[in-house]
Structure 1
């Protein structure tokens, strides 16, 4: 079997993919596994011995004709075709797209043949979006900022591929060496983040480190980061006088991260790749989560992993970080920390509201067969009634298509769909169910008008069944009486 795994996202996402790749190798020991990344992040496959071949997609070269004063679309497409043609000739038996992006879905479709098994995002032959399996449909419907998912991305990968992890899947890099030399007993601080808005200022990091130094003078601190963070690292050092710094910012290869992080007493960092390296080296980790971050989806997975959550960077955050670190190094867990746990959700949602809990429980009911959450607001029941009414109306219009034609009923169906979207905004508790409904409709394959009509009707019927949980029994009896079933 020949397998292609696409991971065209950023550095941290590649490291999150490592356990799934290793589990896949265990499941298919004789398979030939190829791993596709962008050139900028190709260093993140060093030490991943579970793959047979690494392929680097020349995205910069492909896009170059499009960023000229007079964009050359034909030239860009020709370069893309030159990249795709030899890959398609590999005749992959299975293409696994771990990227979940529009571009990756087009690439997956371009590389697939009619006999290729596909997992993740792809496209139908008519170009419309296609989540190829239950878990990629789940990702489309429930994962992302403002949505209800609590499942870590690494666990989503495993579920999508029907794999179960073992301890060996979460292991450090193999077969790479580093000249990095550090003393016994040190902590690592990653001064940057995956995105600027998720990073801390030099002042906040210095405040944190000075608070640590006040109780633990002469502590050894290894600073890591990218070339773009060299100035910030020096600013931190200049503001801290009672610590021993080992400054590796802008001076290391990606593979050096494992050597620096593996033996550390603690890694401090915001949302970033080192957090995920620490998950592989099982290094105790404090993740400073700032801004629009779903930490339950991308937080650290080390055995001792903690999250300090702040909606925004404040003047007091640095001192709080320092206090938390001093307690952790003394074996005490601050009450404000979010602690990693076992189970489906790696982390509980901070300051969970009743609406948050309802949405997550509804997700588990829809996808895992768990009990449906009780409606604790009359608005939830009202929303279910309205959704049921609109859904019934749409089904009536769908039933009319053979006799009156699609063109006549399409505007009415579109109006109904707009109302369903509005309900999702007004009563967010119902959004997981509405998101599931939209994802199921997207999964309908191209076909004849009758095939599409029949498949669409089935989705609406399934939607109606889900809604019945929140429809008062007397309303059901009234509806049945109107239908002449009583």
Structure 2
């Protein structure tokens, strides 16, 4: 058996994929497993012994003709075709696309041969987007920034491949011997982040380190990061002259960070790859989650994983973070920290009524949970309007064989516009509306009769969800008594 696993996202996503790759190896011990990433992130594959072959998507080679002054599109397409044909010739039995991006869906479809079983995003035979499996449909509808999903991405990967993780799936790799003259005890700070808006400035880190150093004078702090983050490290050192700092920013290979993290008492960092590497070494982690981030999906999975949440636009107080770190070393967790938990939801946090309703609604639709009680009249009215427009659209689809597609299309499109407007006006119902849109996308190409039947099935299932919140009319049935009275 030959399996291809695609992860074309960034470093952190690749490390979050490690347990899934290991799980595939455990499920198919004799399979030949290939793993595809983008070339700039190939350092995140070093030490992943569960794979037999690492393939890099040669994006630089493919796109370089477009960068030239005259932009040779044909040459770029030829190079892409050559790459696809080379990989497609492997004739994979399974392709597992863990990237969940439009581009990856095209690539997955291009690499598929008739015998291939596909998990994750792909394309229908006519080129339209395809979310063929239930987990991919869930990801498309409910996962992302400002979405209600509370399941970690790593756990969604496990669901996609149809397994549950074991402890071995989360083990650290065999660690290399490195001579970096590390202290016996130390904290580690990753000074960067996956994106600039998620990061702390050098000034903020410096103030945090300076405050902490005054509380713990003899506790060394090891700084890690990429070469382009060297200036941040220099500013930290300048602003915390009394701190015991070991500066390794830009001085290590990606793989060596595993050893640094394994020996560390605590990792402190924003959303980034080391957070997920620390999950594999089970290093206690304080994740400073800043701004437009869904920490439920990408937070630390270490046993002692803690999140300090700073909402977008909220001012960061570095000394506050320094105090939280000091408290952790004293064995106390600040009440503002979001704690790692076990189970379906990875973190414990008090949420608003609207957020709780949305997540409970997701669990009802996908996991067989109880539908949440609607405590606002807007929810009932929104559901009633959706039910009404859904009935109207079903009637229009039923008219297609008689009147034709062109005659009813304007009415159907108008109905879709109403549904979108209700999604904005009644956010509690958005998970249900997003489910509806995902199911509509899943309708496969076919004859007009097949497409109509599949579409009507989506509307019928939508109606069943809606009816939970639509008051039923009292129907009084008059029964004639035996003696003729009513």
Partner of 2:386: 387
Query: In the aligned structure 2, how far is the partner of 1:55 from the partner of 1:316?
Result: 41
Indicate whether 1:454 and 2:435 are aligned: no
CA contact (8 A) 2:175 2:259 kept: no
Question: Superposition RMSD on alpha carbons, in Å?
Answer: 1.4
Distance 2:81 2:222 in 1: 45
Deviations 1:231-274 (A, max 9, x none): 11101001112222111111111111101111100000000000
**Aligned partners of 1:358 and 1:373 also within 8 Å:** yes
Instruction: Report the counterpart of residue 484 of structure 1 in structure 2.
Output: none
Give the conservation status (yes or no) of the 8 Å contact 2:379–2:429: yes
| Structure 1 residues 476 and 105: CA distance shift in structure 2, 3 A | farther
Unpaired segments ≥5 residues, structure 1: 479-486
What is the match of residue 128 of structure 1? Answer: 128
How far, CA to CA, are the matches of 1:451 and 1:466 in structure 2? 23
Is the contact made by 1:158 and 1:165 (CA closer than 8 Å) also made in structure 2?
Answer: yes
Q: Output aligned runs, 1:162-181, within 5 Å.
A: 162-174=162-174, 176-181=176-181
Q: CA deviation at 1:316?
A: 5.2
C-alpha distance in 1 between matches for 2:397 and 2:69: 49
Contact kept, 8 Å, 1:384 with 1:467, in 2: the verdict is: yes
Aligned 1:24-423 pairs, distance under 5 A: 24-174=24-174, 176-312=176-312, 317-349=317-349, 352-423=351-422
Is contact 1:189-1:269 (8 Å) kept? Answer: yes
User: Is the Cα contact below 8 Å between 1:180 and 1:256 reproduced in 2?
Assistant: no
Which residue in the other structure is 1:424 paired with? 423
Please give the alpha-carbon distance, in whole angstroms, between the structure 2 residues aligned to 1:64 and 1:110. Answer: 21
Write the deviation string for residues 40-76 of structure 1: whole angstroms up to 9, x where unpaired.
0001111111111111111111111223333222111
2-side partners of 1:293 and 1:203: how far apart? 22
Q: TM-score, normalised by structure 2?
A: 0.96
Partner deviation per Cα, 1:347-370 (whole Å, 9 max, x = no partner): 135x51111000000000000000
- Note the alpha carbon deviations across 1:94-118, whole angstroms, 9 max, x for none: 0000001111000000000121000
Other structure's SS at 1:246 match: strand
Q: Within 1, Cα distance between the matches of 2:212 and 2:313? A: 19
Question: Which one is further off, 193-202 or 177-186?
Answer: 177-186
Give the Cα–Cα distance (whole angstroms) in 1 for the partners of residues 99 and 191 of structure 2.
26
Q: Which moved more, 1:173-182 or 1:29-38?
A: 173-182
Task: Report how far residue 177 of structure 1 moved.
Answer: 3.9
Calculate the TM-score normalised by the size of structure 1. 0.96
Instruction: Answer yes or no: is the 8 Å Cα contact 1:47–1:176 preserved in 2.
Output: no
C-alpha distance 477-406 of structure 1, shift in aligned 2 (>3 A): farther
Q: What is the number of residues matched between the two proteins?
A: 477
Q: Distance in 2 between matches of 1:316 and 1:188?
A: 20
Native 8 Å contact 2:129 2:441 kept in 1 = yes
CA 456–153 in structure 1, closer or farther in 2 if over 3 Å, else same: same
Contact 1:152 1:297 in 2 (8 A): yes
Question: How far apart, in 2, do the equivalents of 1:8 and 1:476 lie?
Answer: 57
| Residue 215 (structure 1) shift | 1.2
- The residue aligned with 2:484 is none
Give the 3-state SS of the residue equivalent to 1:473 in structure 2. coil
Decide whether the 8 Å contact of 1:150 with 1:345 is kept in 2.
yes
Distance 1:109 1:324 in 2: 48
- Given that 1:152 and 1:346 are in contact with CA atoms closer than 8 Å, whether structure 2 keeps it comes out as yes
Q: Give the Cα separation in 2 of the matches to 1:101 and 1:473.
A: 41
Q: Could you tell me how far apart the structure 1 residues matched to 2:175 and 2:332 are? A: 36
The question of whether the paired residues in 1 share the 8 Å contact of 2:176 and 2:259 is answered with no
Contact kept, 8 Å, 2:310 with 2:316, in 1: the verdict is no
In the alignment, is the contact (CA less than 8 A) between 2:292 and 2:312 conserved in 1?
A: no
Structure 2 gap ranges (5+): 478-486
